[in-house]
Structure 1
Amino acid sequence: MYKDKKIHSHSIRVRYAETDQMGVVHHGNYPTFLEEARTAWLREMGISYKKMEASGIGLPITSVSVKYKKSALYDDVLTIKTILSKIPNVRLEFDYEIYNEAEELLVTAKTELVFINMQTKRPMKAPDYFLEVLENWKNKEF
């Protein structure tokens, strides 16, 4: 499905606090997992979310879609694969796949974010440095 796309993998271990009484990850924790994987993707690309915000550019989420296929459990090591859906203009879209240690697909997800000018709170085009990093991304190994 993503053979021509760069896929970034990020692993996390499910903490007890992220589960319900049955040891199953509570559904509300998945957006946090996606955020952690997405910021790791940005960091790996050489893009600092902190520096982007300090320069007055925000990247709020406008849409999250999560499809649950199988439960993640306490102490599982999850691998979250983050895939940039397309080169951004104003919107930044990611697809995700979450696997357990047995390489079973547990979750698929999508997020959409929008670049905004933090002063005006208005949408804006992706910053040039962001697009330059993505242009050079073809040769980057994850």
Structure 2
Amino acid sequence: MRSKGVLHVDTEILVPFFDIDTMHVVWHGHYVKYLEVARCALLDHIGHNYTHMLAAGYAWPVIDMQLRYVRGATFGQRINVRASLVEWENRLKINYLISDLVSGERLTRASTVQVA
């Protein structure tokens, strides 16, 4: 899907119990997993997933990741992870927005950069 010239994919995640910490919110490290799920969906959508990358002889490791937490997700919450491809010529830059699926409330913003 395209919005304002940017290719994006939305991925729904139901927050599982094992992602919750003692403060009853998703432990901060699990957000990286949610980004990976959305990134894989985006790469599948454009027809250049990790299997294709490896077959072409490239690994495309993540070299930079930025996250800004706004509000914690909770057990059983349905969240949407939007992955938007914003750069693709010399590197892959993907922006992410994690939001509550029902209310649309923003929970986290993030970005990753990958190079061949």
Shared fold (TM-score, shorter chain, > 0.5): yes
Which protein is richer in strand relative to its size? 2
| Segments ≥4 residues shifted beyond 3 Å | none
Deviations 1:33-79 (CA, angstroms, capped at 9, x unpaired): 11110011011112231232133210101011000011111111110
CA-based RMSD: 1.4
**C-alpha separation between the residues in 2 aligned to 1:43 and 1:19?**
28
Q: Does 1:93 align with 2:93?
A: yes
Q: Does 1:24 align with 2:21?
A: no
Q: Gaps spanning 5+ residues in structure 1: where?
A: 116-142
The equivalent of 2:52 in structure 1 is 51
Task: Say which SS state the counterpart of residue 85 (structure 1) adopts.
Answer: strand
Which protein is richer in helix relative to its size? 1
The equivalent of 1:66 in structure 2 is 67
Identical-pair percentage: 31
Q: How does 1:72-91 map to 2 (within 5 A)?
A: 72-89=73-90, 91=91
Query: Between Structure 1 and Structure 2, how many residues are aligned?
Result: 113
**C-alpha separation between the residues in 1 aligned to 2:100 and 2:66?**
20
The equivalent of 2:7 in structure 1 is 6
Q: Gaps spanning 5+ residues in structure 2: where?
A: none
TM superposition score normalised by structure 1? 0.74
Task: Say which SS state the counterpart of residue 65 (structure 2) adopts.
Answer: strand
**C-alpha separation between the residues in 2 aligned to 1:47 and 1:86?**
14
TM superposition score normalised by structure 2? 0.89
Please tell me whether Structure 1 or Structure 2 has the larger radius of gyration of its CA atoms: 1
